[in-house]
Structure 1
Amino acid sequence: MPLSGQNAHLDTFEGRIWLRLEWRALSRALAQSGEDRKRTLGDAAAFRLKRRSLFGNAAENERVEEIREGLAQYTGIVVVADSRADAIASTIEHLAAAEGHETFLQQSYAAGTAYGVLLDDASADWRRNVRSNSDLGQMLMAALNVAPAADAVEASARYGGPEIRSAEQTRAEQRRTRERELRSRFVDGPVLLIPSGGGTTFNAVGATPIPGVGTVFVLPCRVKGEWGTLEATNGILVNDDGKRRLAGPIRIEGINIRGEGWTVMVASGWTVRPGPRSGDYQIMREP
């Protein structure tokens, strides 16, 4: 999955706060009807707009995930639900589970699922009108003629905003410590640089973005590309441009390169050469 679709802003302090508030408002709206639902959706819209105003490209990146993953989850929920009430209950549970994730990377689709279920009540033929560039939140607000609440900060108090902010402050302090540790391993220390390319999707559970560099994924992964294959069990940094970094120290044994928790086998036609810094190595095509 391309990094642009991972919504790294949703793992920031403010990004997480306003996403959690939107999810909570959507969950409450699902349990309501009529004017109560519309008022609550006005709060959800305000939280959504507030978050997107803080980060460039946030609306586009979130929208892509809501369409691609959110509607897939929506379909799964409504197909297996025995009733409308079951579909609503499942969606509320889905939102609560999303809020409990350690990281919100690739989690923005949860809102898309909720918007789909809410659109079922608001517009009978909404699915026919969904396009690749649609925004499900805008579709719902337009169908119900809902305007965002005037003051997102004031509205946040109705959904535990101060408590969320306090909890996120604690988490942010812990994440800064973790980020410093990962930066020392994958940025400041010696690394093996691997070209982009190769078919794999990195699991975002436990992932940590390093601003201006990329994202460290910690779950075991296997990547195969024209340059060779790699297996990592102790973390891999995927740069914003798609290139990968494995932390040193590095041992070169013919076509096999090894480090703590990872192994790379270099393909024919490729070679390992010193990298741009002392102690770094990089996989390159043979001249």
Structure 2
Amino acid sequence: MSAWAWIRKTVWVTSLGLFLSMPALAASPTPAEIAKAKSVFADAQNVSARDADRLWGVPLYGRMLLVIPATRAVIANQPDPQQRLQPQDGVYVGMLPEDVVLSDAPTEWEGVRWTQLRLPMLPQDAGARSITMAHEMFHRIQPELHLAANATANPQLDTEQGRLWLQLEWRALAAALIESGPAQTQAIRDALVFRNQRHALFPGSAATEAAMEIVEGTAQYTGIAAAEPDAAAARWYAAADLVHPDAEVSFSRISAFMSGPAYGLLLDERLPGWRKALNEHSDLGAMLASTLHDNAKESADSRAAVYGASGLRIELADRAAREEAMQAQYRAALVDGPTLSLTALGRFSFNPSTAVSLGADGIVYLTFHAIARWGTLDVKAGGVLVSSDFSRAALPVPTTIKGSHLEGNGWTIDLAPGWSAAPATKSGNYVLMQSPR
């Protein structure tokens, strides 16, 4: 399984400070689920042992929560500080309460940080599973390494020009990974020329892209560097993902999965010790540029031809036309059309690969789950429009209201006590309101 296949399944959670209040044990994982979890724990421990603290000076393996989404059963590799999990067959079991978002992300609970993973969603392929686990285990230790940057979406990477110069950068990075000597240096120079061209087209994008590479790029670099048997294998794995991207997914939040490993592996070769100098404000591209010891100037357009830009432009023009039609559809439904407005979204999760940017109006996520003070939202189709700072959202108006249960096009809301959908100022629109006490 490539990184692209895992990305399509990955659920991101927006808050790393989730609180798990574990109730009395109501159900238990099955023996088969416990056996599977023990196998996952063993694989994770083996990946960490192979790394032997080489990358970051601390063990990757630590507290893990494996969750069965269908039953919300939890299997942990270590006891929780307050001993709410029960020991069973060498692991610790319990239930994930309804007010906790399911995710593949680090989770704060009882004052300690855990890696949470959805057990059935882990890759079946052993190599891809090891990379995924090392990636997610890195996220658990990321704050103590001072690499928890404030990363935001990069919608410019879903524009026609943004995707063009990003994919040219990726192709040049792939060439650099498999070349050596002067050919590698030229490929690195090309990658940086394409990167700079994109940043010039989209002011401010250099900082936001660099932050995402610190957050997700270093995690995926860690996954590949720790799980692959040697540096050559790691470079070829990373190169394959760079030259064969999934053309249908959004790049706005996931581009760092591709570029981060490439920059990290090249820095391993050309700038030993770079990880010790890394912090949340670092720019991996600038670090790699420091290894070029001449002032050679290259034209982005002339070098683009070497990497098949003509073919990319045709593909991306076709994609842009389809994207424009999709944006018009979502704008009609979620901006111009009658909507239900939400604020204070609480804790939520979403799949970043399905995002559709509507510019200043926000980003549409086709799947979305939120637990907020007004209730629980579940979007399975149709999409929800979310502002860039996640402070508000809009849904198509409800088609059915049955007491505290609301249903719309592809979504449901179960309202908390005292909340209801009320007409908004704009005719035909609704908002969620709390009744006066």
What TM-score bracket applies, with the shorter chain setting the length? Answer: over 0.9
* Cα distance in 1 for residues equivalent to 2:285 and 2:380: 38
* Cα distance in 2 for residues equivalent to 1:5 and 1:147: 32
Structure 1 window deviating more from structure 2 (72-81 vs 255-264): it is: 255-264
* Cα distance in 2 for residues equivalent to 1:187 and 1:147: 48
Code of the residue aligned with 1:25 in structure 2: it is A
Q: Which runs of no fewer than 5 residues in structure 1 stay unpaired?
A: none
Structure 1 residues 36 and 213: CA distance shift in structure 2, 3 A: same
Match of 2:343 among 176, 184, 195: 195
Query: Which secondary structure does the structure 2 equivalent of 1:18 belong to?
Result: helix
* Cα distance in 2 for residues equivalent to 1:4 and 1:251: 37
Shift of 1:88: 0.8
* Paired residues for 1:98-137 under 5 Å: 98=245, 100-109=247-256, 110-137=258-285
Number of the residue aligned with 2:91: none
Match of 1:161 among 309, 318, 330: 309
Task: Note if contact 2:398-2:406 (Cα within 8 Å) is conserved in structure 1.
Answer: no
Structure 1 residues 28 and 119: CA distance shift in structure 2, 3 A: same
Number of the residue aligned with 1:253: 402
Shift of 1:56: 2.6
Structure 1 window deviating more from structure 2 (231-240 vs 110-119): it is: 231-240
* Cα distance in 2 for residues equivalent to 1:54 and 1:238: 25
Structure 1 residues 62 and 17: CA distance shift in structure 2, 3 A: same
RMSD over equivalenced CA pairs, Å:
1.9
* Cα distance in 2 for residues equivalent to 1:159 and 1:50: 15
Task: Note if contact 1:18-1:47 (Cα within 8 Å) is conserved in structure 2.
Answer: yes
Query: Which secondary structure does the structure 2 equivalent of 1:201 belong to?
Result: strand
1:66 aligns with 2:209: no
Residues 205-248 of structure 1: per-residue CA shift (max 9 Å, x gap): 232111221111113x3210112111111221112342111112
Query: Which secondary structure does the structure 2 equivalent of 1:272 belong to?
Result: strand
Structure 1 window deviating more from structure 2 (57-66 vs 130-139): it is: 57-66
What is the aligned residue count? 286
Q: Which runs of no fewer than 5 residues in structure 2 stay unpaired?
A: 1-13, 16-149
* Paired residues for 1:114-263 under 5 Å: 114-145=262-293, 147=295, 149-219=297-367, 221-234=368-381, 235-242=383-390, 243-263=392-412
Shift of 1:61: 1.2
Identity, in percent, stands at 36
Task: Note if contact 1:191-1:250 (Cα within 8 Å) is conserved in structure 2.
Answer: no
1:270 aligns with 2:416: no
Query: Which secondary structure does the structure 1 equivalent of 2:353 belong to?
Result: coil
* Cα distance in 2 for residues equivalent to 1:72 and 1:278: 47
* Paired residues for 1:1-150 under 5 Å: 1=14, 5-98=152-245, 100-109=247-256, 110-145=258-293, 147=295, 149-150=297-298
Shift of 1:173: 0.9
Query: How high is the TM-score relative to the length of structure 1?
Result: 0.93
Instruction: Point out the structure with the larger helix share.
Output: 1
Task: Note if contact 2:254-2:352 (Cα within 8 Å) is conserved in structure 1.
Answer: no
Structure 1 residues 171 and 149: CA distance shift in structure 2, 3 A: farther
Residues 8-50 of structure 1: per-residue CA shift (max 9 Å, x gap): 1100011000000000000011111111111111111110011
* Cα distance in 1 for residues equivalent to 2:296 and 2:425: 51
Task: Note if contact 1:42-1:147 (Cα within 8 Å) is conserved in structure 2.
Answer: no
Residues 116-145 of structure 1: per-residue CA shift (max 9 Å, x gap): 000000111110000110000100110333
* Cα distance in 1 for residues equivalent to 2:411 and 2:427: 21
Query: Which secondary structure does the structure 2 equivalent of 1:5 belong to?
Result: coil
Query: How high is the TM-score relative to the length of structure 2?
Result: 0.62
Structure 1 window deviating more from structure 2 (262-271 vs 47-56): it is: 262-271
Structure 1 residues 183 and 4: CA distance shift in structure 2, 3 A: farther
Greater RCO between the two (CA within 8 Å, min separation 6)? Answer: 1
* Cα distance in 2 for residues equivalent to 1:53 and 1:268: 51
* Cα distance in 1 for residues equivalent to 2:301 and 2:425: 47
Structure 1 window deviating more from structure 2 (247-256 vs 69-78): it is: 247-256
Match of 1:279 among 428, 432, 435: 428
Task: Note if contact 1:247-1:259 (Cα within 8 Å) is conserved in structure 2.
Answer: yes
* Cα distance in 1 for residues equivalent to 2:189 and 2:294: 6
Structure 1 residues 203 and 258: CA distance shift in structure 2, 3 A: same
Code of the residue aligned with 1:268 in structure 2: it is P
Structure 1 window deviating more from structure 2 (92-101 vs 73-82): it is: 92-101
Query: Which secondary structure does the structure 2 equivalent of 1:212 belong to?
Result: helix
Shift of 1:260: 2.2
* Cα distance in 1 for residues equivalent to 2:294 and 2:316: 29
